[in-house]
Chain A
Amino acid sequence: MTQRKRTRVAVLFGGRSVEHEISVITALQLMQAIDPAVYEVTPVYIAPTGTWHTGNQLLERSFYAKVPANLNSLQEVTLLPKPGVRGLTKLSDNSTIPIDVFLPAFHGQYGEDGCIQGLFEMADVPYTGSNVVSSALTMNKYACKVFLKEHGVPVLPAQLITRSDAQKNIDGVVQKALSTEGFTTLPLFVKPCNLGSSIGISKVKEAHELAPALAKVFRFDTHALIEPCVNDIMEINCSVREHNGVHASVVEIPVSQSGVLSYEEKYLRGGGKKTGQSAGMASLTRVIDPQDLDPDIKNSVVEIATRSFTVLGCSGVARLDFIVDLATGKLYFNELNAFPGSCSFYLWVRSHPRVLYTTLIHNMIETALVHHATAASLDRNIGLKALRA
């Protein structure tokens, strides 16, 4: 019996996003969990400057302490937007590192928002996770809410402010924001429209704080999203994945210390300890599958999460965040992470049936290959006639 050839997976991570480091943490966890008997992993690190590098040193966490100095020890590669290459191209000699499937493990801009997915489409290679449109739609918090509202998903009212409008007339913009329908009282949340994590978020308690809060968002994003702040709040998250159908995980209640999860709380707290390595989202203080949660709320979360994932056309593993207004008991969709931190594996290992991280990745890759095969079988008969007439 001959040994079955292993599938070659390129795991891409890092990238030009503010969540660069979180992506590295997620990818390192993921590459540890991937089944080496089935897959041959090629780690591809995208530096903050946007250059692509590969090499086995990338599997060591200690390597990243000395970036960018030690990037020289790696092979610089790229993915050409040219169908048929089926792999990464080395910049040194234009030779190819063959790859069967691409696994983007990015958080945030350029990696989770449809940009790299567009490149995969151009190169005609299989890739895991959501496609271009779904990624782009879920990354833009405002567009996602408007789209889901159309599909009957409950969302909080929102106002979108552009940087150029604020630069021209901040007073007018503030007036417009304060008179938004549904914004009955302060405080308000002001956040970047296109960024994940919690960078740039402010809680505005008084009207005069709104302009500086907007200015803060515009350091990071060209669009700011303003939402009412639900004072008495409970957050509920749920992961949804596609594998021979759409499945939801158990829900979790993340425990916040200050009302809004800051970047530090989300990623640097290390499970409540102040020192030691961060393990990203997997280490956040949380209650998974809370037994005392109202089953009605739990069922609504699962139903809405599955429906949202489906209508947005997502694939792979996503995490949907909801909030419950404890004063009214109302449930609202908050945001969808097309590629959540730690791939939400900590929810799947507690789900029924239980899904191990290794299986989760295995299923993502299988699904990616199925989607690619389906797309390849579509009729793309390019009629080269008009120009020949």
Chain B
Amino acid sequence: MLAKITTIILIVAILAFAWRRTLSFLRYFQQEEYNPTRFIAWIKSNRAFDTRGSLVLLLALIAHVIFPGSGASFLIALLSAATLLVVAYGIEGDPRTTGKIRLNMTERATKTAWVAYGMLAIVGALPLFGLCCSCSQESAPLTLTALCGIAIAQATPAALMLAAKILSPAEKRLQKYYYDDAKRILAEVNPFVIGITGSYGKTGAKAALGDLLTQTVGSTFWPKKSINTVMGITRTIRETMRPHHKYAVIEMGAYNIGSIKRLCEFTPPKAALVTAVGIMHLERFGSPENVYTAKSEIAEALPEHGILVCNGDSPNARRMAEQHKRGTNLLYGFDLSKGPLDCFATDISYDEHGTSFVIHYKGERFPGRTPLLGRPALSNALGAFTMACALGAQPAFAVACMGNLPPVDNRLVLDKGSRVSYLRDAYNSNPTGFEAALDVLKNLPAQRRILITPGMIELGDMQYEENKRLATMAASVCDRIYVVGTTNRDAILAGLAEANFPRTKTIIAETRDEAFNTLAEQSAEGDLVLIENDLGDLHEGKVRF
């Protein structure tokens, strides 16, 4: 009897654990667009295999060998079950409600999850069938249950891929229907389509352009957040495109060569905005030249009389403009040393209400301001301004509208408090963004300037050097620096030492909470705190199962 209860307790815990795990893996499977090749590559590169669940069950097995009695089994099962539940529901957050890119429970996700979980649950519940006949052998149920548990913990990604495969014919039919339906809506509404791509900045530029066009030239459709795939755009078109939409701003993500081309076939652009062609996601493309080729597909797709607006500060975006002559070719940016610019900004300064600037366009000066902070945000706004003007907006009015651009979540947002103010740059940090944030920190009024950061990640070979370089730069701006965690601690400390930053003003914290507690104790009136790359995100960068 006790053996049966033991087995049932453990099975229930394993099944509950498996459900949460199915969702956790599904989040990344969804981000990889249910593509098995990309998902496997992601699992490999992140070593995203189950360790916690298997370890708990393995320990249970070992303990069971050492203490074979049925009373001991019961305790072992109880302890393992509790640990599994704590791991799945305590330590690991709900992928639907936590994290930077959450699991979106679409119809497809729900179906995939249930089919995969169904398969896992059958394996997990297998010992139940054995219960009746094997109750005489006291030890068999727990051993079998734990082994089945380990098997399903390891097989979760495979079950998801198999589920996707099983559902694929029906899914393809449904996708085809959605795709055609979106195509039909697009043909009926017939908006002027502007495609946006770039290695970074495209989401910010899309929001700025969508807003500016709506205010200056006409009602504009644009998918919110960073929706940039055929399926994502299909869904948004079906849900929110309306007959009054005169323009459509479509962000086009390049996942490999050909993906922008497919997007351009879906929503053929008459104009394109290229924010940057960098070397991000190099591992996906193989070489910088392939990145350029992939991004160039947007320019290739433009009609002869089309409009191509490129960021002149990015050498490869400039090259794209030179190699693709269209009806209108415009370059924007800050840096005139890289060549002529049709639209550029000077006299940039920051205050607590945003960024002031002077835009130079077609020989005229337009002083203005925007609530957005930092050069990357201003660069995006500048691209949006240039495109809006190319589409007929009156420059002076477009500049006035820049004064009301809505902020993009978590990208250098000033949170003003009565005593202490915070500059939050929680979005996945990169060297350009970090530099821009330091620049803003330097220029805003404050009694003391404080930096809290765990440093930047996912920079490959450059990680140590870049973190060290930015730390050196931060040393010249900050009065106090909180170094969070161990990931980049050495690099940051080396950078600070090189800049002779006083050791007494460097605070080393193991965790984000520790850093914030110390900060709260030591804060003073007039402090301005830059939170660069929130630790939550850093942890998320390193997935652990």
Contacts and interface: CB of A to CB of B under 8 A. Distances in A.
Nearest to A217: B404
B367 interface: yes
A262 to B, nearest CB: 16
A170 B394 contact: yes
Contact of A215 (B217, B367, B397): B397
A167 B404 contact: no
Interface stretch (A98-106, A206-214, A231-239, A363-371): A206-214
A100 B393 CA distance: 52
Contacts of A167: 216-217, 393-394, 397
A218 B215 contact: yes
13 contacts: A166-B397, A168-B394, A170-B394, A170-B400, A208-B367, A211-B397, A211-B399, A211-B400, A211-B403, A212-B400, A212-B404, A215-B401, A218-B215
Contacts of A215: 215, 397, 400-401, 403-404
A62 B399 CA distance: 43
A168 B394 CA distance: 6
A57 B19 CA distance: 34
A216 B393 CA distance: 16
A14 B319 CA distance: 53
A352 interface: no
Contacts of B393: 167
B536 to A, nearest CB: 26
B261 interface: no
A361 B362 CA distance: 62
A219 interface: yes
Contact of B394 (A169, A208, A218, A219): A169
B369 interface: yes
A68 to B, nearest CB: 13
B282 interface: no
B75 interface: no
A212 B398 CA distance: 9
A170 B399 CA distance: 10
B394 A212 contact: no
A127 to B, nearest CB: 30
B397 A212 contact: no
Contacts of A171: 396
B215 A212 contact: no
A296 to B, nearest CB: 41
Interface in A160-203: 166-171
B369 A212 contact: yes
A205 to B, nearest CB: 13
Nearest to B369: A212
A211 B366 CA distance: 12
B403 A212 contact: yes
Interface pairs A-B: 9 shortest CB-CB? A212-B403, A211-B400, A170-B397, A215-B400, A215-B401, A170-B396, A216-B404, A212-B400, A171-B396
A166 B215 CA distance: 10
B263 to A, nearest CB: 29
Contacts of B394: 167-170
A215 B385 CA distance: 15
Contacts of B404: 212, 215-216, 219
Interface string B387-423: 0000001101101111110000000000000000000
A170 B367 CA distance: 14
Given A171-B396, A216-B403, A218-B215, 20 more contacts: A166-B400, A167-B216, A167-B393, A167-B397, A169-B394, A170-B396, A170-B397, A211-B397, A211-B399, A211-B400, A211-B403, A212-B368, A212-B400, A212-B403, A212-B404, A214-B400, A215-B215, A215-B397, A215-B401, A215-B403
A102 B396 CA distance: 48
A215 B369 CA distance: 13
Interface of B: 215-217, 367-369, 393-394, 396-397, 399-404
Nearest to B397: A170
Contact of B396 (A211, A216, A218, A219): A211
Nearest to A200: B404
A219 B215 contact: yes
A8 to B, nearest CB: 36
Nearest to A212: B403
Between B216, B400, B403, the greatest number of chain A beta carbons within 10 A of the residue's beta carbon is seen for B400
Nearest to A209: B403
Task: Choose among A166, A169, A208 the residue with the greatest number of B CB atoms under 10 Å from its CB.
Answer: A166
Interface string A218-245: 1100000000000000000000000000
Nearest to B406: A219
A229 B357 CA distance: 28
B234 to A, nearest CB: 22
A215 B393 CA distance: 13
A166 B401 CA distance: 11
A215 B214 CA distance: 11
Contacts of A214: 400
Contacts of B403: 211-212, 215-216
Nearest to A216: B404
Residue among A169, A170, A214 facing the most chain B CB atoms (10 A cut-off):
A170
B108 to A, nearest CB: 20
Nearest to B404: A216
Nearest to A214: B400
A166 B394 CA distance: 9
In the complex, which of the residues A214, A215, A219 has the most CB atoms of chain B within 10 Å of its own CB atom?
A215
A169 B400 CA distance: 12
Interface in A119-176: 166-171
Contacts of A170: 394, 396-397, 400
A171 B397 CA distance: 8
A57 to B, nearest CB: 25
A102 B400 CA distance: 44
A214 B216 CA distance: 12
A295 B519 CA distance: 56
Contacts of B399: 211
A214 B401 CA distance: 9
B403 to A, nearest CB: 3
A166 B396 CA distance: 10
Contacts of B400: 166, 170, 211-212, 214-215
Contacts of A169: 394
Nearest to B217: A167
Nearest to A210: B400
A169 B394 CA distance: 7
Interface string A247-260: 00000000000000
A208 B368 CA distance: 9
Nearest to B367: A208
A212 B369 CA distance: 9
Contacts of A166: 397, 400
A171 B396 CA distance: 7
Contacts of A218: 215
A78 B273 CA distance: 45
Nearest to A167: B397
B141 to A, nearest CB: 43
B66 to A, nearest CB: 52
Contacts of A211: 396-397, 399-400, 403
Contacts of B401: 212, 215
A182 to B, nearest CB: 24
Contacts of B368: 212
A215 B368 CA distance: 12
Residue in A167, A168, A169 with the greatest tally of chain B CB atoms within 10 Å: A167
**Max count, chain A CB within 10 A of own CB: residue among B217, B368, B394, B402:** B394
A213 to B, nearest CB: 8
Contacts of B402: 212
In this complex, the member of A168, A208, A218 whose beta carbon has the largest number of chain B beta carbons within 10 angstroms is A218
B404 to A, nearest CB: 5
A216 B402 CA distance: 10
A169 B402 CA distance: 16
Interface in A276-330: none
A145 to B, nearest CB: 25
Nearest to A168: B394
Contacts of A208: 367
A178 B187 CA distance: 45
